[in-house]
Amino acid sequence: MSPNIDNPAYLLTLLTGGLTNGALYALVALAIVLVYKTTSHINLAQGEMATLGAFAVFELTRRGVPVWIAIGIAFLLSFALGAGLERGLIRPLERRGVFPVILATLALFLIINAGVAIIWGTQPVEAPEPIPGGIEDKVDVLTGPPPFFVTYVSLGVLAVLVALLLGLWLLLEKTKLGLGYRAVAANREAAQVMGIPVGRMYMFGWGIAAALGTLAAALVAETAGTLDFNSMGVILIFGLAAATLGGFDSVPGAAVGGLVLGLVMAFVPGLFTVVEGDLSVVIALVVVLVVLLVRPQGLFGTKTLERV
C-alpha cells in the first residue's frame, strides 16, 4: 500500500491524472471504432496518421498560424487523408481479403513513421500549446498542505472529449449522413440495396477517424510537453485496449473504455507500491483480458439481437 492512501490531495491528483490520460485513450479508441464499425478493419496506422497530423499542427504554428486555426486545418487535411486512403488504398485491396488490408495498414504505419522522422527528425520538438499550459495555468482546489489543483490542460482535454462525444452523437443520431453510416454499420448489403452509397460511408468513417486522431495527438503532445515521431506508439496500444474494453463497435463504449483504462492505470500503481509505473501496459492488458473473460463482447459491444 502507498503511504499516501489517506491523503485526499494525492487521491484527487490520481483521479484527474487518470481521467486526463483516459480521455486521450478514449479519443484514439473512438477513431479505431469509427473505422471498424463500417469497414470491419482495424487501422494499425491510426496512431501514426495522428502523429503526422500533430506535426502538421506543429509546422503550421511554427510558420505563425494561430494554434487553433492550425488544428482546424490539420483536422480537415487529416479527414481528406483518411478518406483518400480508404478510397485509394484500402478499398482496392479489400477485394483480395482481410489480410492484405492488415498488411497495408501495417505498411502505412512504417511509412508514415519513417516519413515523419525524415521530415522533422528523430529529436523531440516542443509541442504546440492549444490549451494554456504554463505553471500558473491551473485551478486551485485544495490550498493544502498538500495542495490539490487541476491544470487547464486536464480540463481542456476532458472538455474536448465531452464536446467531441456530443458532436459525434448529433452527427450519428440526428443527421441523414449519420443514419446512413449506422445503416451500413448494421448491415452493409441491406444498406446497399436501400441506395446508400456504401463506399462514401466508409470514406466518412475513415476521414472522421483520422481527424479525431489528429486532435488526440495534438493533445497527447501538449500533455507530454514534446512531440516526436514515436509519440503515438504506446497510445495506440492503449487506444486499442480501450476500444476492446468498450466493445469494438460502440462509440460510448470507446469513451468509457478509455476513461476506465486511464483510471485503472493511475490508481493501481498509485496505491500499490509493488506495482511499478512502467508496468502500465501490462495492467492495461490484464484489465482488458479480465473484462473479455466475463463479457466477450466488451462492456458496450452489441450482442447480435437478430432472430432468424
Partner 1 sequence: MAEALLQLSDVHAAYGEVEVLRGLDLEVGEGEVVVLLGANGAGKTTTLRAICGMVGTRGSVRLAGQELVGRPTEWVIRQGIAHVPQGRGVFGSLSVEENLRVGAWNRRDTAGIQADIERWYGVFPRLAERRTQLAGGMSGGEQQMLAVARGLMGRPRLLLLDEPSLGLAQIITRELFRQLEQINREESVSMLIVEQNAELALSFAGRGYVLESGSIVLGGTADEVRGNEDMRRAYLGY
CB 79 within 8 A of CB 87: no
Q: How far is the CB of 188 from partner 1 (least distance, A)?
A: 10
C-alpha cell at 5: 492512501
Q: How far is the CB of 121 from partner 1 (least distance, A)?
A: 46
Q: What value does the CA radius of gyration of the chain take, rounded to a whole number of Å?
A: 20
Q: How far is the CB of 240 from partner 1 (least distance, A)?
A: 23
Q: How far apart are CA 46 and CA 29, in angstroms?
A: 10
Q: How far apart are CA 48 and CA 117, in angstroms?
A: 11
Tell me, what DSSP letter sits at residue 119?
H
Q: Which is nearer to partner 1, 183 or 210 (CB)?
A: 183
Q: How far apart are CA 223 and CA 111, in angstroms?
A: 26
Q: How far is the CB of 175 from partner 1 (least distance, A)?
A: 11
Q: Which is nearer to partner 1, 37 or 41 (CB)?
A: 37
233-246 and 280-294 helices cross at what angle (nearest 10)? 20
Q: Which is nearer to partner 1, 63 or 176 (CB)?
A: 176
CB 65 within 8 A of CB 73: yes
* Binding footprint of partner 1 on the chain (CB under 8 A): 179-180, 182-183, 185-187, 189-198, 302, 304-308
Strand, coil or helix: 144: coil
Q: How far is the CB of 99 from partner 1 (least distance, A)?
A: 18
Q: Which is nearer to partner 1, 139 or 190 (CB)?
A: 190
Q: Which is nearer to partner 1, 120 or 248 (CB)?
A: 248
